């Protein structure tokens, strides 16, 4: 569950290019904030690699993510085990078909903050994070993406550091790497991104299937 919640911190994309290409860190931060502030929802396919440092174990996963302002989210995992993580901003549901159960509880406090509410959080990048280029001497990677190293001003157990690679022309988020307080990482890559497609609110409410057990979320 820790890794699942950590994923909420790193999952959006940007689509509106600047009139003038960004060159400095200040330019990149300004344009990033402007692009995120115009975003209301997002849908994307993702591939994920979760690395547990203490166990030296890597677990791959993939699926589709839906996000909407207001702390609403829906993660649909297809691999390695089907699972749905859904929140309307108030309640959180974690449905695991293999267990025939859904865990239900209040949305964690993290979901209400700048990390969980990523659309709003990156619209206030300078207010929520200390920002630098990962490599100031070479701020773009081999693909021409800006690579930013973000440290939350109020770190959470599940979010101690966030590295983002964003397209220098379209501002789409290509990769996000989340570090927790134990230096475990979750790396996500995004594809087939759709922005501001008017995702319905019903998508972010879970209806428990008949015969599925309801268990309090802990």
pLDDT per residue as tens digits for the range 54-107? 999 999 999 999 988 888 899 999 999 999 999 998 999 999 999 999 999 888
Where is average pLDDT lowest: 7-11, 41-45, 129-133, 145-149? 7-11
CA–CA distance, 201 with 69 (Å, rounded to integer): 10
Looking at CATH, the fold of the domain delimited by 2-194 is given as outer membrane lipoprotein receptor (LolB), chain A (2.50.20)
First-last CA distance in the chain:
9
Give the Cα separation of 187 and 81 in Å (integer): 18
More confident residue, 6 or 36: 36
* DSSP single-letter state for residue 10: S
* Residue 210 confidence (pLDDT) above 90: yes
What is the pLDDT, as a whole number, of residue 39? Answer: 83
Q: Quick check: helix, strand or coil at residue 30? A: helix
Judged against a pLDDT cut of 90, whether residue 12 lies above it is answered with no
Q: What is the pLDDT of residues 42-51, one digit of tens each?
A: 899 999 999 9
pLDDT band at 141 (very low <50, low <70, confident <90, very high): very high
Residue 133, Cβ neighbours under 10 Å: how many? Answer: 16
- Residue 215's Cβ-count burial label (10 Å; 0-12, 13-18, 19+) is middle
Distance (Å, whole) CA 174 – CA 190: 6
Query: Rounded CA gap, 116 and 158, in Å?
Result: 10
Other beta carbons within 10 Å of 138: 10
């Amino acid at each position: 569950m820790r890794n699942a919640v950590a994923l909420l911190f790193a999952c959006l994309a940007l689509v509106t290019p600047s009139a003038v290409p960004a060159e400095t860190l200040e330019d990149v931060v300004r344009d990033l904030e402007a692009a995120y502030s115009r975003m209301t929802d997002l849908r994307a396919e993702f591939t994920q690699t979760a690395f547990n440092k203490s166990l030296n174990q890597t677990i791959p996963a993939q699926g589709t993510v839906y996000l909407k302002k207001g702390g609403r989210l829906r993660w649909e995992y297809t691999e390695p085990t089907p699972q749905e993580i859904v929140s309307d901003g108030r309640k959180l549901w974690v449905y695991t078909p293999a267990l025939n159960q859904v865990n239900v509880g209040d949305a964690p406090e993290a979901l209400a903050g700048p990390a969980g509410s990523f659309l709003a959080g990156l619209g206030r990048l300078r207010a929520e994070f200390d920002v630098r280029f990962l490599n100031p001497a070479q701020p773009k990677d081999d693909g021409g993406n800006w690579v930013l190293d973000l440290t939350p001003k109020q770190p959470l157990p599940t979010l101690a550091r966030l590295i983002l690679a964003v397209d220098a022309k379209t501002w789409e988020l290509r990769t996000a790497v989340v570090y927790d307080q134990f230096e475990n990482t979750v790396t996500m890559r995004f594809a087939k991104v759709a922005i501001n497609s008017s995702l319905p609110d019903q998508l972010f409410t879970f209806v428990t299937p008949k015969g599925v057990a309801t268990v309090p979320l802990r």
